[in-house]
Structure 1
Amino acid sequence: MSLADRIVFDEAAATARAEACERILTEAPSRFEAEQEIARGLGGQIDADGLASFGFWVPELQDYRVPSGDIFLEILSPTEPLDLTRAHQDIRFERTYVPAIRLESHAFACVRGMKAGTRDEVGDFYALVWRDADDAWHRILDPLAMSLPFGAMAPAELYDVDRMLAERGDKGYWQALASPEPHKFGPVTNILQLHIPTATAGGTIASLTRQFERLAARVEAGLPMDPADQIYLGYDAVQPLPVEPTTVYEAGPDFWQESESSDTGVTVSLLRPDTTNWGYDNVIAGMATVNPVLLESGRPDELIDLATVLHNFPGKPKRLIFDVVYGHSDNQGLRVLNGHFFGGPNMYGQNLAYQTPAVRAILLEMQRRKVNFGADGVRVDGAQDFKWWDAGAQELKHDDEYLQSMADVVQEVAGTRYRPWFIFEDGRPWPNEDWELSSTYRWVTEHQRDPDVFQWGPLTFAHNTPFLYTFWLGKYWRIRECLNVGSHWISGTSNHDTLRRGTQVSPKMNINTRLGQTRMEILDKAYDNPAAHTLTYVALPGVPMDFLNAMARASWGFVRNQDDKYGVKVMAEEAISLRWQVDEYSYSMPANFSRLKALGFETRADLARLCTFLPALVEVTDYDLEDIARLLNTTEPKLAGPLYTPETLKAVARAWMDDMHDYCNIGHSLGSLDPVQSSFALGLRDFRAARPWLRDNYGPKDRFSYLDPIDGRCVFTSLRHGPDGEQVFSIIHMEGKETEDFDPLRLKIPGLEGFNWECVLRAPGIGEDYVSGPLVLRDSMALVFTRKV
């Protein structure tokens, strides 16, 4: 049966949708509340009776005065099986149009006979289209789509979301939380943050799910764990970097390219999406679903599978935290969303028009649909960027009401209604120059109604450089703040942003060479440091978070290969990371940097020479690619690589990004992990999990200080008191010279006096036979003692 014969326009149902929209707009208490109710029906949805309903917010059609007779739902159906795991395929699609009913800024269509996608089968694709006075067609994509196999810039797939949610394997986890009132998730013990493409050798959500399935089986069987297992264990929650669709290749190719088009069919050259991105370059469209780059099968069910394996983990369920980015859109968002979504340019691309009722409602609806995949918590990126223009005051103001509304959304999974635990990254007044000094990191926690809302703390925000001498004493004032108000902070120094910033620091600065013999060793140990871990997990309040790449001592950086215009500039800004993360041996490995080697950079020295020139030339030429290429070609001796032109410079930058992305995969470093270090870090996580009271702020009997006089080293001491009478004492050598021989338990700290202390944790470098008594502490060493009083 042809597509045109299969599809039946249900005019009565579409008319009913439009009439319901008009009634809501008339009767709702406010325009925003009306748009919230309408937003529930936007996007493509299919019910149990097979009725496919589509709703779009289309104020641009009002702007263009497009009559209803020129607005249609476009339906596309592949004429042969579509394999979403193929890199490239040319597929003929049948095409048909059905009428859409427009009510002012909304348009609706309802049809029967459409095929919805499932885990096992690809469905029909769709978009809204309109015809202009010259009979040219224009396509409006669905920003609320639930399946985007070819990215946010291509037609969406109608997906059977109800079936996907009904087939989830963690229903028991959710049903156990059911209650008359929505369940409210509170804070977790600690968090493992990870970037899915570099978190496993496979680089997909399915690959990560299999990793946790294997771990679960080994834990259940009581098998021993090696370091490659331990770095994933001991965490109460897993927080992937954003999993929403991101930008596409700026200069092409598109993943959906049409040819031989007619009213009844079109040939499409389909490319499997393969961009590399760290997740924060979103286009807002598609935020309700999953980035197809991360999907091994091309099916969004993979995200539910991840939630399922975490929630069913033996011993104690692991929670899943989504990282969402609604504070900005990349400029590519202008390609897929109408102009009413945007509030003007910003440093990342575009502000969003939060004060527009329909935009506000659609963003919250995107969030609701996404979290319904099964997230227990939500981390909001860049909350300081949620702003609106106050025309009366002639200034940008923070939209704190919107932040509150994000935390107020009620989710529903497997019949259980709940509100997730919320974390906000909010460094206001960032990006003001004085933000490091003036930010309190407490605006949201002090102004939201929810007592369990958290923020990233000052030791977790960007620009932390724990490999520079005096870093820890320089941050001592922030550490004192952690003691008093840190119970609602995410703590720790390793995350996607701090590790990236670390690789951008000049090696000519005052580097703590006691951390290692080489720059690579220094950087690795700075962010996977026994002393810093002890400070975070034993001494400080809050919820610790570790970044998997740091714990695996793998490389990390700003990974994004979509740029054409500014790709060379991005490479120049990241070029210094070569000095920190790549040595001659690593570069020489055949599997590493293959693209750059193919362009003529046969050795690390070849590439390092270009990376020395490039940042300076970007600056002195004001990023003129013609000038940069000309100057590079005049160097003596001649630079390695191709003859430089603007195009070959872009090719080198693209190769750099792709090679670095592959190099950052933790699979490269698992074989060289130190079992002593991995076991110690896991021991700290288990220690914290057994003592949830360590999250609380310091009480009147608790003590934190440093050994005085400084005498060339920074050694912190912490004495904490639990509600059950347990005392926890830790002594932590953060940096500097070794101490003299001394007995930590004989320090003059009120409350430390007496006996019965037991040494329960010893950092690497301290023998397992140490129980108490005098010893010498060196950089990165730490001890933890406990006793009951």
Structure 2
Amino acid sequence: MSLAERITFDDAASTSRAEACEQILTNAPSRFEAEQEIARGLGGQVDGDGLASFGFWVPELQDLRVPSGDIFLEILSPTEPLDLTRAHQDVRFERIYVPAIRLEAHAFACVRGMKAGSREQIGDFYSLVWRDAEDQWHRVLDPLAMSLPFGAMAPAELYDVDAMLAARGDKAYWQSYSGDAPHKFGPCSNILQIHIPTATAGGTIASLTRQFERLASRVEAGLPMDPADQIYLGYEAVQLLPVEPTTVYEAGPDFWQESDGTEDGVTVSLLRPDTTNWGYDNVIAGMATVNPVLLESGRPDELVDLASALHNFPGKPKKLVFDVVYGHSDNQGLRVLNSHFFAGPNMYGQNLAYQTPAVRAILLEMQRRKVNFGADGVRVDGAQDFKWWDSGAQVLRHDDEYLQSMADVVQEVAGTRYRPWFIFEDGRPWPNEDWEMSSTYRAVIETQRDGDVFQWGPLTFAHNTPFLYTFWLGKYWRIRECLTKGSNWISGTSNHDTLRRGTQVSPKLNINTRLGTTRMEILDKAYDNPAAHTLTYVALPGVPMDFLNAMARASWGFIRNQDDRYGVKVVAEEAISLRWQVDEYSYSMPANFSRLKALGFETRADLARFCTFLPALVEVTDYDLEDIARLLNTTEPRLSGPLYTPETLKEVARAWMDDMHEYCNIGHSLGGLDPVQLDFTLALREFRAARPWLRDNYGADDHFGYVEPTDGRTLFTSLRHGPDGEQVYSIIHMEGKETADFDPLRLKIPGLEGMGWECVLRSPGIGRDYVSGPIVMRDSMALVFTRPGRGAPSS
């Protein structure tokens, strides 16, 4: 049956949708509440009984006064089976146009006979199109689409979301939280942050799911755990870096390219999306669904599968936290969203028009649909960027009401209504020059109604450099803040941002060479440091978070290969990371840096010389690619690599990004992990999980300080008291020269006196036979002792 024979326009249902929209706009208490109700019906939805409903917010068509007679729903159906795992295919699509009804800024269409996508089949594709006075056709893509096999810049696939969610494998988990009122998720004991493309050799959500399923089987069977298993164990929650569709290649090719188009069909050259991105370069459109680059099968069901694997983990379910980016849009968002979504440019691309009721409602609806995949928590990126222009006062104001609205959204999964745990990254007054000094990291905590709202704390935010001497004493004033205000902070020094910033630091600074003999060793140990972990997990309040790449001692950086205009500049900024993360041996491995080698950079020294010249020339030429290329070609002796032109510079930049993306996969580093270090960090996580009270702020009897005189070292001491009387004492050598022989239990700390202490945790470098007494402590060493209170069990 042809598409034209299969599809029928349901005039009555379409008219009913438009009339319902009009009634909502007329009767709702406010325009925002009206738009919230209307947003529930936007996008393409399977309504049952063979009906598919479509709604679009199209203020641009209202501006242009485009009549309903020139607005249509475009439906595209492949004439042969699609294979979403193929790199390239040319496919002929049947195409029909069915009427759409525009009511002011909204357009609706209902049809019967459309094929909805599922795990087993690929559905029909759609968009809204309109015809201008010169009979030219224009396409409006669906920002609320639930399946985008070819990215946010291509027509969407109609998807049976209800069927996908109904088939989820973690229903029992969700039903355990059901009740008369929505369940409110609170904080967990700790978090493992994961970037999916570098977390497994497969680089997909499906491959990460298999990793957790295999791990679950091993745990259930009581099998021994090797290092590749241990880095995932002991975490109560998994936080994914953003999984939404990101930018596409600026200079092409597009993943959906049409040719030979007629009214009843079109040939499309389809490319499997293959961009590399760290996740934060979003275009807002498609935020309700999953980045197709991350989908092994091309089916969004993979995200539900991951949630189920985590929630069904034996012993204690693992919670899932989504990282969402609504504080800005990349400039590419202008290609897919109408201009009413935007409030002007910013350093990342475009500000969003949060004060526009429809925009506000659509963003919250995108969030609701995304979290319904099965997330227990939500981390909001860059909350300080949610701003609006107060024209009366002529100032930008933070939109704290919108942030509250995000936390107020009620989700529903497997029949259970709930509100997720919310975490905000907010460093306001960033980007003011004094933000590191003046930010309280509590702006959202202090304005939100829920007492369990969290923010990233000062030791977790960007620009942390724990491999520089005096870092820890320099941050001591922030550590003191953590003691009294840190219960609602995410803590820890390793995350996607701090590790990236660390690789951008000049190696000429005052590097702590006691951390290792090479720069790679120094960087690895700085962000996977036994002392820093002990400080985070034992001494400080809050919820610790670790970044998987740091725990696996794998590389990491600002990874995105879509840039054409500024790609060379981005590589110039990242070039210094070569000194930190790549040594001669790593570069020489045949599988590493194959693209750069093919361009003529046969050795690391060849690439290092180029990376020394490039940043300087980017600065002195004010990023003029013609001048940069000319000057690179005049060096003596000649630089390795191709003959430099603006185009070959872009080739080098693309090769750098693609090679570094592969190099950062943790699969390369798993074989070299230290089992002693892994045993210690796992023991720390288990220690923290067994003592949830360690999340609380310090009480009157608790102690934190450093041993004085410092005498060339930073030696932190912490004594904490549990509600059952248990005492936890830690002594942590953060940096500097080794101590003399001393007894940690004989320091003059109030509450430390007396007998009964048991040494329960010893960092690598301290033998298991150490129980107490004199010891020499060196950089990165730590000890943890416990003493039971009356009636409290020993550790």
1:48, distance to aligned residue in structure 2 (A)? 2.2
1:306, distance to aligned residue in structure 2 (A)? 0.3
The answer to whether 1:562 aligns with 2:562 is yes
Cα distance in 1 for residues equivalent to 2:129 and 2:396: 36
What code does the residue aligned with 1:746 have? R
How do 1:225-236 and structure 2 match up within 5 A? 225-236=225-236
Cα distance in 2 for residues equivalent to 1:525 and 1:540: 20
How do 1:264-283 and structure 2 match up within 5 A? 264-283=264-283
How do 1:527-676 and structure 2 match up within 5 A? 527-676=527-676
What code does the residue aligned with 2:651 have? A
1:165 is matched with 165
The answer to whether 1:477 aligns with 2:477 is yes
Cα distance in 2 for residues equivalent to 1:371 and 1:304: 10
2:30 is matched with 30
1:63, distance to aligned residue in structure 2 (A)? 1.2
What code does the residue aligned with 2:116 have? A
How do 1:112-127 and structure 2 match up within 5 A? 112-127=112-127
2:432 is matched with 432
1:357 is matched with 357
How do 1:139-288 and structure 2 match up within 5 A? 139-288=139-288
1:519 is matched with 519
The list of structure 1 runs, each at least 4 consecutive aligned residues, that deviate by more than 4 angstroms after superposition, is: none
Provide the secondary structure at the position in 2 that maps to 1:451.
Answer: coil
What code does the residue aligned with 1:257 have? Q
1:458 is matched with 458
2:80 is matched with 80
2:752 is matched with 752
Cα distance in 2 for residues equivalent to 1:605 and 1:394: 53
1:47, distance to aligned residue in structure 2 (A)? 1.8
The answer to whether 1:12 aligns with 2:29 is no
Identity %, equivalent residues: 88
The answer to whether 1:681 aligns with 2:673 is no
Provide the secondary structure at the position in 1 that maps to 2:172.
Answer: helix
1:330 is matched with 330
Provide the secondary structure at the position in 2 that maps to 1:532.
Answer: helix
What code does the residue aligned with 1:80 have? E
Q: Which runs of 5+ in 2 are unaligned?
A: 790-795
Cα distance in 2 for residues equivalent to 1:50 and 1:434: 59
2:727 is matched with 727
Cα distance in 2 for residues equivalent to 1:113 and 1:774: 80
Cα distance in 2 for residues equivalent to 1:8 and 1:762: 71
1:705, distance to aligned residue in structure 2 (A)? 0.4
Cα distance in 1 for residues equivalent to 2:328 and 2:356: 15
1:404 is matched with 404
How do 1:289-328 and structure 2 match up within 5 A? 289-328=289-328
What code does the residue aligned with 2:569 have? K
Once the two structures are superposed, residues 362-415 of structure 1 have per-residue CA deviations (whole angstroms, 9 ceiling, x without a partner) of 000000000000000000000000000111111111000000000000000000
1:416 is matched with 416
Cα distance in 1 for residues equivalent to 2:201 and 2:239: 18
What code does the residue aligned with 2:47 have? D
Provide the secondary structure at the position in 2 that maps to 1:724.
Answer: coil
Cα distance in 2 for residues equivalent to 1:49 and 1:720: 62
How do 1:485-496 and structure 2 match up within 5 A? 485-496=485-496
What code does the residue aligned with 1:52 have? A
1:70, distance to aligned residue in structure 2 (A)? 0.3
Provide the secondary structure at the position in 1 that maps to 2:262.
Answer: coil
Provide the secondary structure at the position in 1 that maps to 2:126.
Answer: strand
Once the two structures are superposed, residues 39-62 of structure 1 have per-residue CA deviations (whole angstroms, 9 ceiling, x without a partner) of 000000012211000000000001
The answer to whether 1:391 aligns with 2:360 is no
Cα distance in 1 for residues equivalent to 2:447 and 2:6: 55
Once the two structures are superposed, residues 261-301 of structure 1 have per-residue CA deviations (whole angstroms, 9 ceiling, x without a partner) of 00000000000000000000000000000000000000000
The answer to whether 1:39 aligns with 2:39 is yes
Cα distance in 2 for residues equivalent to 1:659 and 1:450: 44
Cα distance in 2 for residues equivalent to 1:594 and 1:26: 62
Cα distance in 2 for residues equivalent to 1:65 and 1:284: 26
1:367 is matched with 367
What code does the residue aligned with 1:256 have? W
Cα distance in 2 for residues equivalent to 1:48 and 1:767: 66
**TM-score, normalised with respect to structure 1:** 1.00
1:786 is matched with 786
1:684, distance to aligned residue in structure 2 (A)? 0.1
Once the two structures are superposed, residues 517-569 of structure 1 have per-residue CA deviations (whole angstroms, 9 ceiling, x without a partner) of 00000000000000000000000000000000000000000000000000000
1:709 is matched with 709
Cα distance in 2 for residues equivalent to 1:469 and 1:176: 49
Provide the secondary structure at the position in 2 that maps to 1:444.
Answer: coil
What code does the residue aligned with 1:735 have? E
Cα distance in 2 for residues equivalent to 1:697 and 1:637: 60
Once the two structures are superposed, residues 699-741 of structure 1 have per-residue CA deviations (whole angstroms, 9 ceiling, x without a partner) of 0000000000000000000000000111000000000000000
Cα distance in 2 for residues equivalent to 1:50 and 1:483: 59
Cα distance in 2 for residues equivalent to 1:128 and 1:31: 24
1:260, distance to aligned residue in structure 2 (A)? 0.5
Aligned residues: 789
The answer to whether 1:49 aligns with 2:49 is yes
What code does the residue aligned with 1:11 have? D
What code does the residue aligned with 1:98 have? V
Once the two structures are superposed, residues 67-121 of structure 1 have per-residue CA deviations (whole angstroms, 9 ceiling, x without a partner) of 1100000000000000000000000000000000000000000000000000010
2:793 is matched with none
1:125, distance to aligned residue in structure 2 (A)? 0.0
Instruction: Provide the aligned C-alpha RMSD in A.
Output: 0.3
Cα distance in 2 for residues equivalent to 1:684 and 1:49: 54
Once the two structures are superposed, residues 240-277 of structure 1 have per-residue CA deviations (whole angstroms, 9 ceiling, x without a partner) of 10000000000000000000100000000000000000
Cα distance in 1 for residues equivalent to 2:78 and 2:500: 43
2:505 is matched with 505
Cα distance in 1 for residues equivalent to 2:142 and 2:89: 23
Provide the secondary structure at the position in 2 that maps to 1:445.
Answer: coil
Cα distance in 2 for residues equivalent to 1:627 and 1:311: 55
Cα distance in 2 for residues equivalent to 1:50 and 1:350: 39
Cα distance in 2 for residues equivalent to 1:687 and 1:783: 13
Q: Which runs of 5+ in 1 are unaligned?
A: none
1:70 is matched with 70
What code does the residue aligned with 1:548 have? L
What code does the residue aligned with 1:205 have? I
Cα distance in 1 for residues equivalent to 2:181 and 2:571: 51
1:498, distance to aligned residue in structure 2 (A)? 0.1
1:419, distance to aligned residue in structure 2 (A)? 0.1
Provide the secondary structure at the position in 1 that maps to 2:321.
Answer: strand
Cα distance in 1 for residues equivalent to 2:579 and 2:560: 20
1:65, distance to aligned residue in structure 2 (A)? 1.5
1:227, distance to aligned residue in structure 2 (A)? 1.0
1:134, distance to aligned residue in structure 2 (A)? 1.0
Cα distance in 1 for residues equivalent to 2:768 and 2:80: 65
Cα distance in 1 for residues equivalent to 2:67 and 2:194: 49
Cα distance in 2 for residues equivalent to 1:501 and 1:285: 28
Cα distance in 2 for residues equivalent to 1:63 and 1:35: 18
